[in-house]
Amino acid sequence: MASLFDAKKLILAPQAGVTDHVFRQLCIEQGAQLTYTEMVSAKALSYGNAKTQGLLSLAPNETSVVVQIFGHEPQTMAQEAQMLEERLGDTIFAIDINMGCPAKKISSKGDGAALMKDPDLAFAIIKAVSSAVSIPVTVKFRRGFELDHETAPEFAQLAEQAGASAVAVHGRYAQQFYRGSACWDVIARVKEAVSIPVVGNGDVVDGPSAKALFDQTSCDAIMIGRGAQGNPWIFREIQTYLATGEIISRPTPREKMDMAIRHAYLLREHEGNYLARMRKHAMWYVAGLPGASVYRRAFNDAVTFEDFKQIFNEAANYAEKVQESIQES
């Protein structure tokens, strides 16, 4: 499977409450070569939960997607993986098993990163899922669960032996959550430990950091998570930098706000209760703009698309005025 990521080097990471099909659509337009769904509960899928089913909606430009599932019951995970392959057909690139989510509501139930503490169960899950489907099965995990107890290289070997076609490694311990810096050296150690492709994840925020991760780890692809929040352009920027070494101009405040308005519009059109989700994205879009704190407070009172549109336009207009004032002085 050495060629699994040959044409899919820049990947949008799975992020709960963030990577819905609307956000994935915008990132694909800006150069994301592969996208992951939000993590999907295999148990909820088995119950036919409507909200969970909604997480499987695809973007209109999404021809290849990885569905990330989580759970701790091998049989249920395998059954639902098989269902996903049948349901999505040629559109599903792979099934990813979440063994890295550090959230307490996930790990406290034995799911996500908690599986790094139970290698036997993790092996059984990967084995069951990979045996149930014909598409690749990948596993995403962290440097280790407990601080200063690195287990990722051995865990990657376990995943490979159980039938995984690739692994993705986030360079933090689960107990770190997102604090501190991601350790890229562990990604290199995982790369040396296995023969399957390795995806590097953690602290990629621009072209130079993406190239540095590739250079330092020899990973096969990189996964961008928080760096894409409010910034779908990051994929275009990285593509250009990797190809030419050029750092292209960041979008202007007006371009950012136009994207934010479109984002809000698409969410309104395709999501029933979209306000809470759009407020989250809106905070990221205005980050770094003059007066951002004022707009963040205004978003909390926004209840319609027109409210969001007005705030975004005000933010763009004010940023332009500030820029003009700076240039005149």
Tell me, yes or no, whether 156 and 267 share the same domain.
no
Residues 189 and 259 in one domain: no
Domain count, the chain: 2
Per the annotation, the verdict on 219 as an active-site residue is no
Say if 2 falls within a structural domain.
Answer: no
* Domain that includes residue 306, residue range: 253-328
Tokens found for residue 267: 């969410």
Max Cα distance, the chain (Å):
68
pLDDT given for residue 325 in this prediction? 83
Identify the domain boundary among 218, 244, 270: 244
pLDDT of 34: 97
Q: Which of 220, 244, 268 is at the close of a domain?
A: 244
Q: pTM of the prediction?
A: 0.95
Assigned domain for 31 exists: yes
Q: Which of 244, 278, 311 is the last residue of a domain?
A: 244
Give the 3-state secondary structure of residue 276.
helix
Say what the pLDDT of residue 136 is: 97
> Is residue 227 domain-shared with residue 263, that is, in the same domain?
no
Whether 175 and 282 share a structural domain: no
86 and 141 co-located in one domain: yes
As given in the structure block, the two tokens for residue 20 are 């819905």
Q: What is the reported pLDDT for 54?
A: 85
Tell me if 55 sits within 8 A of 37, measured CB to CB: yes
Is 294 within a domain? yes
CB-based contact 15:230 (threshold 8 Å): no
According to the model, what pLDDT value does residue 3 have?
66
Mean of pLDDT over the chain: 95
Helix ranges (H only) for the chain are: 21-29, 42-46, 50-54, 74-88, 104-107, 119-132, 152-162, 185-193, 207-217, 234-244, 253-270, 275-286, 292-299, 305-328
Co-location of 187 and 262 in the same domain: no
Per-residue pLDDT at 120: 98
Q: Assess whether 100 and 59 both reside in one domain.
A: yes
144 and 98 within one domain = yes
pLDDT score of 232: 98
The catalytically annotated residue of 27, 101, 183, 219 is 101
The residue ranges of the chain whose pLDDT is under 50 are: 1-2
